[in-house]
Structure 1
Amino acid sequence: MIGHDVFLPTPLPVLSMGIMVTLAAVAWRRSVGRSIACAMVTLLAASAVVDRHTGGRPQHGISLFIQDQWTTYTAMLIIFSSMCILLMSWRDLKHDRSTLVDEYPLLLMLGTLGALAMVFSANYMPFFVGLEILGVSLMGLVTFRRGSFLQGCEAAMKYLILSGVSSAILLFGIGLAYGITGSLRFIPPTAIGDMPAALSMAATLMILTGMFFKLSAVPFHMWLPDVMEGAPVPVAAFLAVVSKIAIFSSLVRYFGTGGQPEFINDVLYVVIILTIMGGNLLALRQASLIRLLACSSIAHVGYLLIAFLCPGRLQSGAITVYLAAYTASTLGVFAIITAFATPEGADGTVIAQWKGLFFNRPFLASAMSLMLLSLAGIPPGIGFFAKFEIAATGVEHRRGLLLCVLILGSIIGLYYYLNIIRTMMTVPSLPSPGLNRHARPELTALVIVLSVIVMIGGLFPARAIHPFLPAPTVPPQTQDRMAH
């Protein structure tokens, strides 16, 4: 499906206005509760107008944004995820009197604005600006780790250096692409232009490498576990969900359904195999739940790339269902981790701390098991249906090797997911240390909502797939040509 060019998607000015109002309120008088409320109202307003836009295609000039069902769907996922992450952060922000943290909701809204700008982009300029807005806000959010400022600064520094390197590679590729095509339109440089093939290939590979860095696909993945471990738990969820959705949405938009050049297939084959096997094997060694989830998210990027490599009638359904399954299940796991954190600083990120939780907090332990089974691709969660759709795309294109890797990676993943469930079912010889036995009401409600989404998607897959929307094709290649 080809979308239509728009002057400005409405969620972008809504979020910008909310940020400005919150800034003015902070300048007048600091109030964490008011800043959180402003952020939540802004996100709700953006979700209400997510499918609307201001103006049409410019008659003279460059079209910067595009809007279709794909952008509406991924933008809604991003806004929903940001609202969930704000709820996860609510108590720590509201009751931590040691620091003034009005900046946290502002940075969260700013990161959401950057992610949405990337999703709606039909042009290199807003895409790169959105990417940098997202990166800068994440660097600030990572430093908000409670009780461990130095660890947060270390994680932010790692993210700053590696994010800068990947952005430089991406920007160099964009410059080459503009030199080849004479256009800033968001299309692969191999699609048009009469420059040497090697130059087009270099530009495409640089852009792809920059996106792989942001997606943390192997071998560009080493920064993610360290950064997520050093960040607060809700910010780790933002990294694992929102930033991944934004980058993957841009990747699909850039190459489109069937739009990727042929020579990229071999590159993607290698990256997919390394990403699935590397992410799952790294997760086997982790004693920290956050690092395990970081490695797990690397593997899930590999599963998504299988569908990306297999254009066809099944591709759009596989991608959209998998994004929904990954988003709901991952947010659920992070919400439960946050629910078990204590004011004294025990954050529940060590797997051994979860021993015996089925006997102490059976509801949240059961919800945790549901989310982990969904991530593993086991019924009754939506993850089973999502992984089945990914496998179906591979069968449709006869990608036998990738299917074998998917099955092997899923078996490895099943081991470390079930190990967490086994730990929760183990009767502790001593009382489990440090975790909160009384979850907050807002987090309990959030876990219930996410559990219902995961269950309905798994039990009623035919109804679950109906509202999911088709992925886009490459935008028209004959429009918005620019002179050198």
Structure 2
Amino acid sequence: MSLVQSVDNVALLPAYLAAGTAVLVLLADLLVARGRVTLVTAAAGALATVLGAVVVGAGGERRTFCVGADCSYVFGGRAALVAVVVALLTLGVLALSGPLLRAGQSPTGEYAFLLACSMTGGVVLGAAGDLITLIVALETLTLPLYVLVGLRRGSLASAEAAVTFFVVSVVATTLTLLGAALLYAATGGLHLGRIGALLADRPDLLDLPLTTAAVALVVLGLAFKVAAVPFHAWAPATYDGAPLPVAAYLSTASKLGGVVALLAVVQYALPADVTGPVLALLAVLTMTVGNLVALRQRRTVRLLAWSSVAQAGYILAPLGALALAAGRSADARTAAYAAAVAYAVFFVVLELAAFAAVVALRPAGADGGTLDDLRGAGRRHPWRAAALGLALVGLAGLPPGLAGLFAKVTVVRSLLDGGAGWLAVVVAVNAVIGLAYYLRLTATLWAAPTTDAAAALSAADAGPTGPAAAAAAAPAGEVPVVRARTVGAVLVVATVVAVVIGCAPQLVLDAATR
């Protein structure tokens, strides 16, 4: 067998475009030193990556870095879908970051460069065909976020969140690498397909303690990245301490990367009868703990963070059907994987819309504040609040948020088809629990201001005028909100996309199945 690896540069085109974007952003910042030029360069690169992924993905599956039948990079339909979603999320977060960067709280060049580097990891991750490529791509997606979380000048909470995120992620990466090393020692392979074939042909390998430990370490290490319970404690503090656009990226692109990595190893490498029970347990714990703790939250971003934890449980739930014999049939497995991918796509669209609305309803560069800061926002800014309400209702799975409704229906149907009716009941019960805090926040948007807030507003009206006086006299939620056109554009586009995929969910489901 020839050890010379074939290289298909067309398959690598989306990765080239993403990496080239990071290089161009760095050069633009060094040579031009104008924030607007740097951001436009990053946005153009993200759009080019989207177009490249669509064009290459439409041409069928392409493989490169192959030795025999084993390939380290496989760019097909799912890889194209992941690349497009990650690049669009990067573009959206860049647009949301305009007010933050104009306020001088973060350096524009470093900020855009790190986002482009993270996008490169996400693009490569969807096409990873072996454990080394997968882990390196996942870390490329995650490493820049350590700095982005702590990049807000003068914020102790931001620095603490960055340290928390760094320490937990290092532990998670260590566990994953150790699991990959043990898996290589047990099977002699690193390519996902080869490991899966070896474990299927040699059931005796599964009886080895070495293999059991390897599988457990890989799954648990990736569970950290998804913020699955009990490996979730880092998420709320990190999201709340990070700048709002970075929190949006963590909750969408970063979580999507963890889901894609976990799906890759479960679908192609690790035996379903071993991973199924573990994933079922993780799904139950994650959705239940996330929803119950979210009920007690009073800070907006922490509520969205715990909501994100619960949503990770719904994404993992279809994989729990693999624990049963009915869930391990070919059709049931395909339905489970498609449901997990589709739910992840539905979730990131709604989550981005929710964060965009919070950014639009808060002062430039401010954190998410408390739920009371958003009280009555629907009376002052009805369209922005309506967009946030639609996103929250969608995450809850209620109409008119049809995207979230179809997402949960897809998960429940895949569980019933896989014979995991008990898990479908758990999903349904948790969806009902989630209604409490989603609807509470939605109702708060149109609630009457408190007495203190009304008095502060009257004092602001009677006293000196101007932004400084309004900021000093009004409560935090009443400070003039973000007026950036880019934030409004992201909010409009995310809301429209949520409505479109809610009315035509088959677009996402077909793409996930392919």
Q: TM-score scaled by structure 2? A: 0.85
* Structure 1 unmatched runs, 5+: 472-484
Q: 1:59 to 1:324 in 2, by over 3 A?
A: closer
User: Given the alignment of the two structures, is residue 109 of structure 1 paired with residue 116 of structure 2, yes or no?
Assistant: yes
Q: Which residue of 2 aligns with 1:261?
A: 272
Q: Which residue of 1 aligns with 2:467?
A: none
Measure the CA separation in 2 of the matches of 1:407 and 1:351.
26
2:485 to 428, 432, 441: 441
Look up the equivalent residue of 1:307 and give its one-letter code. P
User: Given the alignment of the two structures, is residue 470 of structure 1 paired with residue 476 of structure 2, yes or no?
Assistant: no
User: Given the alignment of the two structures, is residue 68 of structure 1 paired with residue 66 of structure 2, yes or no?
Assistant: no
1:392 to 398, 406, 413: 413
Q: Which residue of 2 aligns with 1:34?
A: 37
Secondary structure at 1:262 match in 2: helix
User: Given the alignment of the two structures, is residue 156 of structure 1 paired with residue 162 of structure 2, yes or no?
Assistant: yes
Matches within 5 A, 1:393-472: 393-428=414-449, 429=451, 430=454, 431=457, 433-435=475-477, 436-437=480-481, 439-462=483-506, 464-465=507-508, 467-470=510-513
Matches within 5 A, 1:43-442: 43-51=46-54, 52=56, 56-58=63-65, 60=67, 63-93=71-101, 95-97=102-104, 100-145=107-152, 147-148=154-155, 150-187=156-193, 188=195, 190-191=199-200, 195=205, 196-256=207-267, 260-310=271-321, 311-312=332-333, 314-343=335-364, 346-381=366-401, 382-428=403-449, 429=451, 430=454, 431=457, 433-435=475-477, 436-437=480-481, 439-442=483-486
1:272–1:306 Cα contact (<8 Å) kept: yes
Measure the CA separation in 2 of the matches of 1:323 and 1:182.
32
Q: Give the deviation of 1:257 after TM superposition.
A: 7.3
Measure the CA separation in 2 of the matches of 1:335 and 1:254.
32
Q: Give the deviation of 1:438 after TM superposition.
A: 5.8
2:397–2:431 Cα contact (<8 Å) kept: yes
1:257–1:312 Cα contact (<8 Å) kept: no
* Structure 2 unmatched runs, 5+: 1-5, 322-331, 458-473
Secondary structure at 2:272 match in 1: coil
Secondary structure at 1:314 match in 2: helix
Secondary structure at 1:129 match in 2: helix
2:106–2:152 Cα contact (<8 Å) kept: no
Measure the CA separation in 2 of the matches of 1:160 and 1:316.
30
Count of residue pairs the alignment pairs up: 464
Deviations 1:222-272 (A, max 9, x none): 000011111001111111110111121122122217964313222222211
Q: 1:269 to 1:26 in 2, by over 3 A?
A: same
Q: More helix per residue: 1 or 2?
A: 2
Measure the CA separation in 2 of the matches of 1:433 and 1:258.
54
Measure the CA separation in 1 of the matches of 2:161 and 2:66.
46
Q: Give the deviation of 1:6 after TM superposition.
A: 5.3
Measure the CA separation in 2 of the matches of 1:99 and 1:465.
35
1:12 to 12, 15, 21: 15
2:291–2:310 Cα contact (<8 Å) kept: yes
Secondary structure at 2:443 match in 1: helix
User: Given the alignment of the two structures, is residue 21 of structure 1 paired with residue 24 of structure 2, yes or no?
Assistant: yes
1:174–1:207 Cα contact (<8 Å) kept: yes
Q: Give the deviation of 1:320 after TM superposition.
A: 3.6
120-129 vs 25-34, which deviates more?
25-34
132-141 vs 382-391, which deviates more?
132-141
Measure the CA separation in 2 of the matches of 1:269 and 1:426.
39
Q: Could you list the structure 1 runs, at least 4 aligned residues long, displaced by more than 6 angstroms after superposition.
A: none
Larger Rg: 2
1:320–1:468 Cα contact (<8 Å) kept: no
Q: 1:140 to 1:317 in 2, by over 3 A?
A: same
Secondary structure at 2:152 match in 1: coil
Structure of greater relative contact order (alpha carbons < 8 Å, 6+ residues apart) = 1
Q: Give the deviation of 1:421 after TM superposition.
A: 1.2
When the two chains are superposed, the root-mean-square deviation of aligned CA atoms in Å is 2.4
1:348–1:354 Cα contact (<8 Å) kept: no
1:6–1:65 Cα contact (<8 Å) kept: no
Q: Which residue of 1 aligns with 2:466?
A: none
Measure the CA separation in 2 of the matches of 1:201 and 1:302.
23
Q: Give the deviation of 1:98 after TM superposition.
A: 6.4
Secondary structure at 2:273 match in 1: coil
298-307 vs 257-266, which deviates more?
257-266
1:9–1:120 Cα contact (<8 Å) kept: no
Measure the CA separation in 2 of the matches of 1:288 and 1:86.
24
Secondary structure at 1:347 match in 2: coil
2:266–2:275 Cα contact (<8 Å) kept: no
Measure the CA separation in 1 of the matches of 2:117 and 2:184.
28
Q: Percent identity?
A: 28
378-387 vs 316-325, which deviates more?
316-325
